[in-house]
């Protein structure tokens, strides 16, 4: 086996089903080796989308997603997605091509210091120096990506470690013909170096993926939290995506949902936790979270830090007893020291609480009624805003219709600003592990890659991308990837001809629209040109019919894009986060 085959063998043992890539001579043996071992190689149109797709695979399966990209510009193109994965605590393994070991620092093609570039943005970065390093280093990469707080890792694979030994030895001998004594010395040196590269290459065979148990809370911590929750009169639970790390499959996530339901306390879901309780669950609140946190006498933050989403901890009343559980010791105490801090997996704490409180009835009916009344009032306001008519399509009405169209088995990918934030308030994920957004980095451009990874993991599920007309341009070219690989996603572009989330504040405060105006571009025609299907939506009365048509086309196997021309609204006025 060459080095590419050895890497592919490790991927098989680690349970990897897909390898995302954009081709390059530095990494070709990895792609060929993976294909020959039954791993589906999916080539994208931009390296950043390979990493976004790998990120989605981890979020939906718990198995680190893998991307392989070529040296230099190939790896630099991934840095935004890698940073997004780091901040979202998502396990991604990035394999980067590199110049030959003997040519580093000598002006070789695409040779840069890739280790220095990635070190601040990954949990672990390393460069293999010999073929015998590839297997153990890649196995370590997977272990590090999964352990503790998951995150991205980077393994640099120099090109002379990947190709067949005979060919590499030929490379090292081809440029040292003749030259007398100096030439002989050069040949000896280069052949000696080649010998070191391949020495002991068969020393380590790939091993099966070892279990890495999530960090469990101490029994005493569970009891303390349970005691406080039992005594509370106005508790609030806030769950972030980290709460599902120990529940990476749908059955496990449904078991977690049962544990949360058994607690009986009102719940707000954020990020990847959206959809955990399904649609319309009696314990799930969607609106007025700030007011609820300020009135609560106990707040449990499960896998979410006190960052900008909670106004750096100021949303939680200082009179409330604050319990925080997080795999990250830093996030556990970020901006706000909890009264009870549990450095452990949030999902395990929630399960432990449910077990500890089993059979002990708690009466929070009045508190739940208060929160439900507020939610209902806000829903009435949204309905009133959805009913407003204009020249084009009301975005709130469009989101309401998307919500009505969603099948039970659906995954929603959120990629945008104003329109997508509107959808976050009005579209309900149907179940756990069915909502993908960038996370705290707020990265535009995740849509194409996330949807690619999601649809491959769940081919029988409707996968929706909710795009703004600003964000769609980042990954619109991936419609070519969707068409070539038979990945039938449904993309909805909320086209209001502007960077509206920024424009709201900029125009009001600075009285200038510089840089925030776009055209009502024919994105549906671009999708057609890439091999997909495109639909234009300009009238309110056509919304339901066009959405049904989009779903039908996707279920026939076509990737489809709906270009929805939106009216301007005041739905999110004053909502920008800094």
pLDDT for the residue 181: 77
Average the pLDDT over 245-258 and give the result: 94
In a domain, residue 23? The reply is yes
Domain boundary among 198, 232, 248: 198
pLDDT for the residue 378: 95
Chain mean position to CA 396: 25
Rounded CA separation 223/344 (Å): 14
Rounded CA separation 444/467 (Å): 9
Domain boundary among 345, 372, 399: 372
Phi/psi of residue 563, each to 5°? -95, 100
Q: What is the pLDDT of residues 448-466, one digit of tens each?
A: 999 999 999 999 999 999 9
Are residues 132 and 37 part of one domain? Answer: yes
Q: Is the pLDDT of residue 160 over 90?
A: yes
Rounded CA separation 181/200 (Å): 30
Question: What secondary structure does DSSP assign to 152-195, as a single string?
Answer: -EEEEEEGGGTS-HHHHHHHHHHT----HHHHHHHHHHHHHHHH
Are residues 396 and 360 part of one domain? Answer: no
For residues 565 and 393, the answer to whether their CB atoms sit within 8 Å is yes
Q: What is the pLDDT of residues 500-556, one digit of tens each?
A: 999 988 999 999 999 999 999 999 999 999 999 999 999 999 999 999 999 999 999
**Three-class SS string for 264-314?**
CCCEEECHHHCCCCCCCCCCECCCCHHHHHHHCCEEEEECCCCCHHHHHHC
Number of domains in the chain: 3
Average the pLDDT over 266-282 and give the result: 95
Nearest to 463 by CA among 29, 13, 46, 57: 57
CA-to-CA separations, 391 to 113, 382, 417, 493, in angstroms, rounded: 54, 19, 22, 17
Q: What is the pLDDT of residues 33-74, one digit of tens each?
A: 999 999 999 999 999 999 999 999 999 999 999 999 999 999
Q: Which residues of 292-312 are buried (b: 16+ CB within 10 A; e: fewer)?
A: bbbbbbbbbbbbbbbeebbee
Phi/psi of residue 155, each to 5°? -120, 120
Rounded CA separation 190/130 (Å): 14
In a domain, residue 432? The reply is yes
CA-to-CA separations, 432 to 269, 368, 440, in angstroms, rounded: 11, 22, 20
pLDDT for the residue 175: 54
For residues 550 and 536, the answer to whether their CB atoms sit within 8 Å is no
pTM: 0.95
Q: Rounded to the nearest 5 degrees, what angle is found at the Cα of 184, between the Cα atoms of 181 and 190?
A: 140
Torsion of CA 87, 41, 76, 206, to 10 degrees: 70
- Confidence category of residue 576, pLDDT binned at 50, 70, 90: low
442: left (phi over 0), alpha (psi -120 to 50) or beta: left
Are residues 325 and 247 part of one domain? Answer: yes
Rounded CA separation 340/335 (Å): 15
Q: Which residues of 206-235 are buried (b: 16+ CB within 10 A; e: fewer)?
A: beebeeeebbebeeebbebbbebbeebebb
Q: Which residues of 62-91 are buried (b: 16+ CB within 10 A; e: fewer)?
A: bbbbbbbbbbbebbbbbbbbbbbbbebbbb
In a domain, residue 210? The reply is no
CATH code for the domain of 424: 3.40.50.970
Are residues 103 and 164 part of one domain? Answer: yes
Average the pLDDT over 3-21 and give the result: 98
Are residues 391 and 277 part of one domain? Answer: no
Are residues 451 and 355 part of one domain? Answer: no
Range of the domain at 392: 387-565
Domain boundary among 337, 372, 407: 372
Chain mean position to CA 241: 10
CA-to-CA separations, 557 to 48, 406, 464, 478, 525, in angstroms, rounded: 25, 17, 14, 16, 18
């Amino acid at each position: 086996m060459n080095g590419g085959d050895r890497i592919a063998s490790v991927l098989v043992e680690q349970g990897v089903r897909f390898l995302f890539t954009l081709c390059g001579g530095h990494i070709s043996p990895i792609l060929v080796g993976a294909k020959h071992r039954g791993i589906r190689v999916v080539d994208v149109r931009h390296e950043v989308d390979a990493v976004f797709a790998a990120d989605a695979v981890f979020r939906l399966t718990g198995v680190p997603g893998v991307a392989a990209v070529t040296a230099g510009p190939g790896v630099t193109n991934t840095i935004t997605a890698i940073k997004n994965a780091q901040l979202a605590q998502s396990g991604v393994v990035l394999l980067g091509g590199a110049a030959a070991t003997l040519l580093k620092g000598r002006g070789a093609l695409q040779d840069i210091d890739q280790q220095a570039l990635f070190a601040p943005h990954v949990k672990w970065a390393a460069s293999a120096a010999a073929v015998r390093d590839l297997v153990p280093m890649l196995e370590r990469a997977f272990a590090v990506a999964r352990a503790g707080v998951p995150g991205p890792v980077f393994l640099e694979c120099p090109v002379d470690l990947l190709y067949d030994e005979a060919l590499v030895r030929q490379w090292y001998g081809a440029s040292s013909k003749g030259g007398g004594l100096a030439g002989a010395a050069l040949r000896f040196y280069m052949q000696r170096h080649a010998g070191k590269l391949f020495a002991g290459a068969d020393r380590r065979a790939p091993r099966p993926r070892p279990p890495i148990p999530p960090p469990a809370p101490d029994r005493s911590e569970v009891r303390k939290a349970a005691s406080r929750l039992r005594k509370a009169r106005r508790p609030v639970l806030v769950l972030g995506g980290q709460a599902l790390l120990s529940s990476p499959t749908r059955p496990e996530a449904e078991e977690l949902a049962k544990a949360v339901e058994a607690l009986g306390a009102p719940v707000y879901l954020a990020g990847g936790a959206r959809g955990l309780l399904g649609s319309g669950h009696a314990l799930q609140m969607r609106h007025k979270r700030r007011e609820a946190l300020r009135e609560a006498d106990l707040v449990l933050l499960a896998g979410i830090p006190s960052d900008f989403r909670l106004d750096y901890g100021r949303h939680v009343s200082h009179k409330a007893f604050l319990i925080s559980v997080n795999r990250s010791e830093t996030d556990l105490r970020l901006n706000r020291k909890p009264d009870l801090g549990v450095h452990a997996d949030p999902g395990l704490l929630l399960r432990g609480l449910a077990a500890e409180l089993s059979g002990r009835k708690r009466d929070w009916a009045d508190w739940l009624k208060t929160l439900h009344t507020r939610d209902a009032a806000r829903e009435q306001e949204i309905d009133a805003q959805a009913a407003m008519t204009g020249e084009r399509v009301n975005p709130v009405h469009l989101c309401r219709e998307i919500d009505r169209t969603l099948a039970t088995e659906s995954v929603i990918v959120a990629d945008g600003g104003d329109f997508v934030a509107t959808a976050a308030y009005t579209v309900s994920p149907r179940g756990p592990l069915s909502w993908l957004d960038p996370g705290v980095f707020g990265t535009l451009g995740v849509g194409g890659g996330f949807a690619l990874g999601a649809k491959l993991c769940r081919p029988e599920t409707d996968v929706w991308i909710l795009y703004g007309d600003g964000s769609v341009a980042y990954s619109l070219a991936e419609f070519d990837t969707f068409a070539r690989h038979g990945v039938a996603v449904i993309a909805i572009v909320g086209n209001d001809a502007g960077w509206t989330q920024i424009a709201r504040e900029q125009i009001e405060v600075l009285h200038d629209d510089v840089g925030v105006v776009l055209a009502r571009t024919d994105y549906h025609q671009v999708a057609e040109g890439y091999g997909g299907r495109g639909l234009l939506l300009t009238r309110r009365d056509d919304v339901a019919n066009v959405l049904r048509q989009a779903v039908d086309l996707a279920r026939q196997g076509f990737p489809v894009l709906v270009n929805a021309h939106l009216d301007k609204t005041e739905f999110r006025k004053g909502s920008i986060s800094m």
